[in-house]
Amino acid sequence: MLLARPEVQGVKLLFLVGGFAESAVLQHAVQTALGTRGLRVVVPHDVGLTILKGAVLFGQAPGVVRVRRSPLTYGVGVLNRFVPGHHPPEKLLVRDGRRWCTDVFERFVAAEQSVALGEEVRRSYCPARPGQRRVLINLYCCAAEDARFITDPGVRKCGALSLELEPEDTGTSPNRREIRAAMQFGDTEIKVTAVDVSTNRSVRAAIDFLSN
3 contacts: CB under 8 Å, gap ≥ 6:
11, 34, 37, 39
pTM over 0.85: no
Q: In angstroms, rounded to a whole number, what is the distance separating the alpha carbons of residues 4 and 11?
A: 11
Residue whose C-alpha is closest to residue 141's, from 113, 108, 103:
108
- What integer best gives the mean pLDDT of the chain? 87
The pLDDT of residue 65 is 73
| pLDDT tens digit sequence for 35-84 | 777 788 898 888 888 888 888 887 788 777 778 889 999 999 999 999 99
The pLDDT of residue 53 is 84
The bridge status of strand 201-208 relative to strand 13-15 is unpaired
The pLDDT of residue 145 is 92
The pLDDT of residue 168 is 67
Q: In angstroms, rounded to a whole number, what is the distance separating the alpha carbons of residues 107 and 1?
A: 22
Contact 149, 116 (CB under 8 A): no
Average pLDDT over residues 78-97: 93
* pLDDT higher than threshold 70 for residue 167: yes
The dihedral through the CA atoms of 147, 153, 154, 157 has a sign that is: positive
Query: pLDDT category, 166, cuts 50, 70, 90?
Result: confident
DSSP category for residue 84? B
* pLDDT higher than threshold 80 for residue 113: yes
Report the helix count and the strand count for the chain, using DSSP H and E: 2, 13
Name all domains of the chain by residue range, CATH numbers in brackets: 2-64 (no CATH), 70-208 (2.60.34.10)
Q: Which residue has the higher pLDDT, 130 or 41?
A: 41
The pLDDT of residue 128 is 78
* pLDDT higher than threshold 60 for residue 122: yes
